[in-house]
Amino acid sequence: MDLARRFDADPPATASPDAKRPQTATRKHRRTRIALAFIAPFGTLFALVFIVPILYAAYLSLFQQKLIGGDTFVGFANYGKLFRDPQFWDGVGRVFRFTLIQVPIMLIFAMALALALDGMRVHGAKFMRMTIFLPYAVPAIVSTLMWGFLLGVKYGLFGSLNDALGTDLDPFAPGTTLISIGLMVTWAFTGFNMLIFYAALKAVPRELYEAAAIDGANEFQVVRAIKVPALRGSLVVTTIFSIIGTFQMFNEPQILPSMVAGSGVTTFYTPNLYAYHLAFTGSQQGYAAALALVMAAITIAVAYAVQIRGLRNASDQ
């Protein structure tokens, strides 16, 4: 989403009309004080849970923890080590590949479902809309447990399938685990994205459809000329949120090893899982802090690139 433009163009930021009237210095001072009192609780806590931790992590990332001698200042050595760390890049590569495949599939499904449900040509649309959204209410831990059991060969349906057909399919073999995780993530978030698209479609004025009908437009033309353009803004937002979500993938690969053996999930399967293991089992807080900051920078850079591209495409139309 276009944060910078959003608050530049904001109508809300222009405040009450009497702000424009000449004011005495004391009155203006008093108003500012009141406004600060409103904003202070949020601002203070925001500093405590967002700004200070990031600054503290930046500070910590300049140190290395040693068994003997404690913390030593190492400058940017942690960052240098990180850029040469094959385990880090293995995880980064994995979430990139995952994002490139899973996000388009999920968003195409979400968009198609929103179009189908908005078109009012589907029986039981209300029930299906609610059911598709429902997985969003399920915590990642519960969804991983359900899918882990469901797909697993030990207790799950694939075990029964293999018994029945004499096959040897395993959704949690090293080569297939990522596909199974994609199935879980798509399950959890398609409905949420569908609802964002659906809300955008509902905001289209009905008169447009009536006008199109008078002009004799067929359904395909209505979708292409009215509905898809209406979805463009939401598509940028959902793409960015999905990228942020998949880049920080953690829950599924953290929980899976406790459910299935030999799934191929390593301690550095995703960058966040790696940071977690570095900080909590490896006691390398400085290195983990550097990793978290670099990952945040990569995520913001990619999200920003998508936003620029998305807006350029939108303004081309």
Partner 1 sequence: MHPISSRRAEAGKASGTPTRHSGRARRLYTVGNPRKSTTLTVMTALFTLYCLLPLVWLVINATKSQADFVSSFGLAPGREFALWDNIVEVFGYQDGIFSRWLLNTVLYVVVGATVSTFLAALGGYALAKLDFTGKRVFLFVVLGSISVPGIALAIPQFLLFAQLGMTNTPWAILLPSFINPFGLYLMWVFTAEAVPTGLLEAAKIDGAGEFRTFLQIALPLLAPAGVTVLLFSFVSIWNNYFLPLIMLKDPAWYPLTVGISQWNKLGSTAGNGALIQNLVITSSLLTIIPMVVAFLGLQRYWRSGLSLGAVKG
Q: Are 252 and 269 in contact (CB under 8 A)?
A: no
List Cβ<8 Å contacts ≥24 apart for 17-24: none
Q: Write out the two tokens for 101.
A: 């495949």
Say whether residue 24 binds partner 1 (CB under 8 A): no
Interface size with partner 1, residues (CB under 8 A) = 122
Give Cα separations from 236 to 4, 6, 107, 226, 314 (angstroms). Answer: 15, 14, 11, 17, 9
Helix, strand, coil share (%) of the chain residues, nearest 5: 75, 5, 25
Interface pick for partner 1 out of 79, 176, 233, 266 (rule CB under 8 A): 233
Binding flag, residue 216, partner 1 (CB under 8 A): yes
Binding status of residue 282 toward partner 1 by CB under 8 A: no
239 binds partner 1 (CB under 8 A): no
Q: Is 117 in the site for partner 1 (CB under 8 A)?
A: yes
Q: Which residue's CB is nearer to partner 1, number 135 or number 264?
A: 135
3-state secondary structure of 175: coil
The H-or-E segment that residue 65 falls in is strand 63-66
3-class secondary structure, 44: helix
Q: Site for partner 1 (CB under 8 A): which residue of 96, 209, 223, 266?
A: 209
Contact call for residue 258 and partner 1 (CB under 8 A): yes
Based on the shown chain and the rule CB under 8 A, indicate whether residue 289 belongs to the binding site for partner 1: yes
Beta bridge partners of 65: 71
Name which position in 165, 214, 281, 316 contacts partner 1 (CB under 8 A).
214
Convert residues 57-86 into a mask of x (bound to partner 1 by CB under 8 A) and - (unbound).
x--x--------------------------
Kindly state whether residue 140 participates in binding partner 1, applying the rule CB under 8 A.
Answer: yes
* Site for partner 1 contains 169 (CB under 8 A): no
Least Å distance between CB 194 and partner 1? 9
